[in-house]
Amino acid sequence: MADMSEARPPGAATTPPARASRQARRAAAASLIGTTIEFYDFFIYGLAASLVFGSQFFPSFSPVAGTLAALSTFLVGFVARPIGAVVFGHFGDRVARKRLLVISLLTAGGSTFVTGLLPTYAAIGAAAPILLVLCRLVQGLGLGGEWGGAVLMAVEHAPSRRRIVFGALPQMGNPAGLVLATVVTLVCTTFLPVREFQSWGWRIPFLLSVTLIVAGVIVRSRLRESPAFDRVRESRQLVRFPLGELVRKYPRALVAGTLAVTASPAVGLLVSVYLLPYGQRVLHISTVTMLLLTGVYGVVFFFAIWISAGVSERFGVRRVSVVGLVSVAIWAVPFFLLLDSRSLPAAVIAYAGVGVTVGAVNGPQATLLADLFPVRVRYSGASLTFQLSSVLGGAITPVVSTALLAATGSGLSIAVWVVAIAVISLVSVACLHLGSGVDPIEEQGTELAQVA
């Protein structure tokens, strides 16, 4: 585990308090802005995969098969994310945090912009879906390195008693990116005829990402390096092969941490991506209505993360995580009962409720994962656990949900899947804290006394 010297408040020994506070706020804001951009890219692809890519890149398939094929390209990006976590984590632990943040933003954002320029199947045949998959792979690599770096810059700059809230700001980039992507898509689908949107209008959200990329690079280029990383570098404690040390010394934290946070991407991707075609084709709810419901979820999700992080600083990461996961499991069946009623007020309640439950889980999540590992392998450890959980939860869920719905014809079968994943994460949180008899966060000597 990390030694006590790594747990000092960032910059406490060398930086005046006022200046350190400004740096902390700047790092947290830059992390929020950057992850918002990255998740905008991510969700734009997911929305397009649900609404457009089936007809534009897989036209020879049936509508259902085409959507499933398009969502499978979405899965490819998830597979690339752990690879990105390893690559960016290696250099983030060996070279610098800040520099890798800029590179990850350019990698994911650039692939999103290029996706908006791709010719469709009608223009170049089978080469079109191949290029789509390649763009998705590159996007996944960039996003794989983005989250860990953003979280660490926020947490490692943060005042000792505000690390959970500061760590939650990059998490809030997830719903912020979702809302932004949903609003842009909603505007395009509202003001463009269906045929025009399917033909070329879907490209607009992808091409608009270039403006966000430029803004993000400017903000991040003005950041200072993480003071915690600087201390490790100055003391010559850098590890030559971070992944090797991570697997050799921290396998329990890696496995338990991954499973502990699997439920949130599973439920989040289910609500924000898969349920769009489910609402359209099974419940016969319009695209505009489904996008509005997704926006409701995103807004509630955003504020729930912030509230959950504040509550965690008072009552502890462990308690809030458990309450959040239990609420995810409890809300799964009511969610589908409300949505399947085809009542708009009921659907709004359903989506708002799931926003609260997933937000409760996400609030303390970033700091929990960051503090499972010492500074010298933290970029690799936090990134890999988070991205592996995304593969297990978020990538598999749309495919499993499609299969369950086809087999049973009922959305309640998907609810059973959600409950199962929430229980797995709940048990893993218990193992993470109780397995060694000592809370891993406390064991590393961090100043999160409230976790106990």
Residue written as token pair 């490790």: 232
**Rounded Cα gap, residues 423 and 377, in angstroms:** 29
**In this predicted structure, what is the pLDDT of residue 62?**
62
Q: At what angle do helices 375-389 and 227-234 cross, to 10 degrees?
A: 130
**Rounded Cα gap, residues 363 and 316, in angstroms:** 11
φ, ψ of residue 126 in degrees (nearest 5): -65, -20
**Rounded Cα gap, residues 418 and 224, in angstroms:** 41
Which pLDDT tens digit goes with each residue over 197-243?
A: 888 999 999 999 888 888 888 888 777 877 888 888 888 788 889 89
pTM of this structure: 0.82
SS3 96: coil
**Rounded Cα gap, residues 355 and 352, in angstroms:** 5
**In this predicted structure, what is the pLDDT of residue 404?**
85
How close are the terminal C-alpha atoms of the chain, in Å? 17
Residue 273 DSSP class: I
Which pLDDT tens digit goes with each residue over 27-82?
A: 888 888 888 988 898 888 878 877 788 778 877 666 666 666 766 777 788 888 99
Sequence-separated contacts (24+) of 211-216 with Cβ below 8 Å: 212/36, 212/37, 212/40, 212/109, 213/37, 213/105, 213/106, 213/109, 213/110, 213/113, 215/33, 215/37, 216/33, 216/34, 216/37, 216/105, 216/109
Burial readout 371-381 (b: 16 or more C-beta within 10 A, e: otherwise): bbbbbbbbbbb
pLDDT over threshold 60, residue 12? no
pLDDT over threshold 50, residue 8? no
pLDDT over threshold 50, residue 9? no
Region of residue 409 (phi > 0: left; psi between -120 and 50: alpha; otherwise: beta): left
Residue written as token pair 């709810």: 285
**In this predicted structure, what is the pLDDT of residue 278?**
83
Which pLDDT tens digit goes with each residue over 396-442?
A: 777 788 788 878 878 888 999 999 999 999 999 988 753 332 333 33
